[in-house]
Structure 1
Amino acid sequence: MTMTAELQAPTVAAPQTARTPWSTRLARPLLGLLLPLSLALAWEFLVWAGWSNGRLVPPPSKVFTTIAELARSGELARHITTTLIRVGVGFGLGVVAGTVLGGICGYWGLARRLIDPTVQALRAIPSIAWVPLFILWLGIFETSKVALIAVGVFFPVYLGVTGAILSVDRKIVEVGRIFRLSGPAMIRRILLPAVLPAYVVALRVGLGLGWMFVVAAEFMGASEGLGYLLIDGQQLGKPAQIVAAIVIFATIGKATDWLLELSTAPLLRWQDSFARQGGAA
């Protein structure tokens, strides 16, 4: 007696990504405002109740009044524009240098052995240590400020690109070699898609450091910029102006990070990641 067994492969349904309702997409960024707004309201209440005089740490109402006065006088727009230009130019220069050098060191082993130790040593130098040297080399005007911001952006971008290339799965590279892909084709079809997720993260880290370095840059004899507002508030004993500058830094920094994330999202649309499915509930 013979029995015929039929082996049937299990049917796996293709994953379907549910479209997120517009109300949910709107609620997610608003949810991020819950913590800072709660802290601001709590501090406003403490000052209003008389549990703090609010002299050294002014309440949000006084901070927003200071921001409104700066906006009415036209100073706020001038300082924000100056700082944005500095960060934008420095970020662009740092990204170009970090991407090119990181790509060379990640793809070419000899260049990595020659250049990477020096770059790692320079990375350990604090940002403030560059200030007197850049002033001596480039003067006290815009060139030295932009150069300092570019230095801050360069290192995370360089590390991100180099590390991403070195971490590419060897089996994927071997597949490209089996298909006899040329060097440019290997970069375009194998390395670039594998590097992009880490590269986007490196860009966001570099942008954050660019905003940090612009404060040190604007300490170098600046007469305009949000960093100048910090120094002016400290010298004149205006804590509300200092906190207002910090709030503006945080707001613009978050806005630029969001724009960068939004602009790079199409490059990562092919990913079927945990985050794209909504993450944990």
Structure 2
Amino acid sequence: MRILILGGSSEATLLAKALAPRADLNAILSLAGRTKNPAPMPLPTRIGGFGGVEGLRSYLRDARINAVIDATHPFAAQMKRNAAQACGATNTPLCAFTRAPWVAGEGDDWIEVDTAAEAAVALGETPKRVFLAIGRQQAGAFAGQNHHFVLRAIDAPDAGALPASLDLVLARGPFTVEDEIALMREKRIDIVVSKNAGGEATRAKIDGARAEKLQVVMIRRPKTPERPVFENIEDALAWIEAHRPAS
């Protein structure tokens, strides 16, 4: 059985580790290539885009893929749409393996918005020290503001529109709650901007903000195409078994 995993998340890594020892499965992991030095994976890995829906359709046919698992980041909206269209056109079974979104609890103070542009507006006019915990790709949405930003990313952002007042922290997680509190105190953070990535791997910043009684501007997940969605690996593995091609 030939399986394509669309990666870019901790779920993709978990799935790759589960499938790598399986002699009855031939799985390949695809990464978009946005991180310059991705962590090593236990499966054969292709890096780079497919060339849109048409390119992915061709790949599925040429590589004789029997099933696709979308384990991209919850905010990889374009890839999710492309996968749904390409799999529909080729009649290739598709499911998603992801993590549940975070939900505000007691002690959380969230402003929920739909986009990075709305998050920039939600910061208001009064100058603040902002922990921009959304990665480097959407930092440009905060350019032209009078706030001071602390941007944490794995790789440095490309030259272009960035906030004028910016501290860049290059680091690869995971981070503990103690790590996040220390950063917030060192940088004298007033407010946190985060995407609702969900899961445990990156939630320490949310717990740290709660502990420090900081407001969080939370960007909601984009809408995704209709397909089976699993939040634990046992269900994803069972879906694979149910979609084995006939001998």
TM class by shorter-chain length?
Answer: under 0.3
Q: Which protein is bigger by CA-based radius of gyration?
A: 1
Q: Greater share of helix residues, 1 or 2?
A: 1
TM-score, normalising length from structure 1? 0.22
TM-score, normalising length from structure 2? 0.24
